[in-house]
Amino acid sequence: MHNPPPARLIDVTRLLRRSGRMLTGVDRVELAYLQELLQGDVALWGMARTPLGYVLLDRTGLAQFAAAVTGARPFGPPDLLSRLSRRQHPTVRAAQSDLRRWAVARCMPRGLARMLVRHLPEGTAYLNLGHSNLTERVFEAVRAVAQARITVFIHDIIPLTHPQFQRPGTVAPFEAKLARVQRYADLILYNSDDTRRQTEAWMQQRGTVPAGIVAHLGTIVVEPDPSALPARLRFDRPYFVCVGTIEPRKNHALLLDIWEALGDRAPPLVIAGSRGWNNAGVFARLDALPEGAPVHEAAGLSDAALAALVQGAHALLFPSHAEGFGLPAIEAMTLGTPVLCSNIATFGEILGDKAVYTDPLDWQLWQSRVVDWSKRSRETLRVTDFDAPTWDAHFKIALSFT
């Protein structure tokens, strides 16, 4: 713990790249930090990588960016530079244009160090929260600011612990990224003891391990809005829900096996999430579902609609092989919805004795619990005393060290 720095520099590259899409867990962490730092007294700067270089924002520019990301204001029209980048999502092009308009300074890649030294005070604390922009150029540029400190948030190292679930060509770049974090970071923030244990074990084999602290992520659940749900997702009988990107490590195949085995006895199951990668078999099974099947795929729900869907469910099913934190489980229990999840270390640490744990490979035990729970009244299953982690508690820890 130390005195606040004279200024903080938050990297918002990930939020920029995700503009116009539903925010993932890591996206929401970067946004939560941005909103918290905007409310603080410490001088605040923001940096983002664009296709043409870097932009530097002051507090006013960051506030406008946060408002646009959350939908409080629209992004403006794309400028000429963005109109030439037609391969990017239209909202990303608009967001890049706005950041250039709001920037107090801009530079080509080779000018990043000069730009930061010109504008940032000695002792600035750089925060990288989104696993993005973790490059040698960025780290060296921040180091050019006298007495600057580098803090990096590591959400998980699943590409290294479970490479079989990753997209082709992503494991080696992630390993190189983590090696750069080990080389340059003064402090690493972790979302769980399990993430810290795995990361430090990897680093110990390669050299000095940076200082680290654990701060569980906070949870802000939006007000559920049942009216925002499409008619096909409004059920008059018990149903189950699984929330998250449809990718191999989330283990949707287990749920499809169970629902196939249950046949006519199967309750409705909603798989709420966008399609990811390396999952052709699961995608084919979803595409082949006949009309009237009990399994429903739902992508792009608003936060309020998703909260209503989860709140009304008999249970959230979370059979993941690996997770860095597992925000959907915490959000479900905060809404009173019970959670049946994998018996992995992260869930045990975060959810304690409030969840029901099952081997993610034991589909028969999962099936028996689904059948049992579907026969019980929702009131007997509700979670009533879950003490969810808060952002206030998180920032009290994290911002005391950076």
pLDDT computed for residue 25 by the predictor: 84
Radius of gyration of the chain, Cα coordinates, nearest whole angstrom: 22
**Distance from C-alpha of 106 to C-alpha of 12, rounded to nearest angstrom:** 15
What's the mean pLDDT when you consider all of the chain?
Answer: 94
Amino acid identity of residue 3, one-letter, is N
CA separation for the pair 140, 203 (Å, rounded) = 20
Establish how many alpha carbons lie within 13 A of residue 19's alpha carbon, considering only the half-sphere containing its beta carbon: 28
Query: CB 93: neighbour CB atoms within 10 A?
Result: 24
Banded pLDDT at 343 (limits 50, 70, 90): very high
Name the packing angle between helices 59-69 and 25-39 (round to 10°). 140
Domain locations along the chain: 7-219+391-398, 226-381
pLDDT at 285: 97
DSSP states along 242-271: EES-B-GGG-HHHHHHHHHHHGGGPPPEEE
Longest dimension (CA), the chain: 68
Q: Tell me: the pLDDT tens digits for 3-47?
A: 899 999 999 999 999 987 878 889 999 999 999 999 999 999 999
pLDDT for residue 21: 80
Across the range 198-221, mean pLDDT stands at 96
Q: For 226-381, CATH number?
A: 3.40.50.2000
Helix count and strand count (H, E) for the chain:
18, 14
What is the per-residue pLDDT for 84?
62
Mean pLDDT along residues 327-335: 95
In whole angstroms, give the CA distance from residue 293 to residue 265: 11
Pair of tokens at residue 127: 């925060």
**End-to-end Cα spacing for the chain:** 8
Amino acid identity of residue 284, one-letter, is A
Close Cβ partners of 306 (under 8 Å, ≥ 6 residues apart): 243, 272
Q: Which residue has the tokens 């739902």?
A: 298
The two three-digit tokens of residue 343, written as one number: 């018996």
> Structure pTM?
0.93
Q: For residue 82, what pLDDT is reported?
A: 67
pLDDT at position 180 is 98
Architecture of domain 7-219+391-398: 3-Layer(aba) Sandwich (3.40)
Neighbours of 343 (CB within 10 A): 13
pLDDT digits (tens, 9 = 90+) for 284-299: 999 999 989 999 999 9
CA distance 252 to 303: 21
Q: Do residues 96 and 46 lie in contact, with contact meaning Cβ atoms separated by under 8 Å?
A: no
Residue-level pLDDT at 86: 67
Q: What is the mean pLDDT of residues 227-243?
A: 96
What tens digit of pLDDT does each residue of 350-361 get?
999 999 999 999
Q: What is the pLDDT of residues 369-393, one digit of tens each?
A: 999 999 999 899 999 989 899 999 9
The pLDDT assigned to 262 comes to 96
* ∠ Cα 62 210 402 (to 5°): 35
Predicted confidence at residue 91, as pLDDT, reads: 87
Cβ-based neighbours of 335, under 8 Å, separated by 6 or more: 221, 224, 307, 310, 311
Q: Report the pLDDT averaged over residues 258-273.
A: 96
**Whole-number percent of the chain with pLDDT over 90:** 86
Assess contact for 152 and 29: CB atoms under 8 A: no
Q: Could you give the C-alpha distances from 275 to 28, 99, 248, 281, in angstroms and in order?
A: 19, 29, 10, 12
Token digits for 267? 């309750």
Q: What are the pLDDT digits (tens) for 91-114?
A: 888 899 999 999 999 999 999 999
Entry field: residues in the chain: 402
Q: What is the pLDDT of residue 93?
A: 87
Q: What is the pLDDT of residue 220?
A: 83
Burial 224-243 (b: 16+ CB within 10 A, else e): beeebbeeebebeebbbbbb
pLDDT for res 83: 65
Question: In CATH terms, are 7-219+391-398 and 226-381 the same topology?
Answer: yes
276-289: average pLDDT: 94
β-bridge mates for residue 213, sequence order: 189
**Would you state the pLDDT for residue 1?**
59
Which conformational region is residue 322 in: left (phi greater than 0), alpha (psi within -120 to 50 degrees), or beta? Answer: beta
For the cut 80, the answer to whether the pLDDT of residue 215 exceeds it is yes
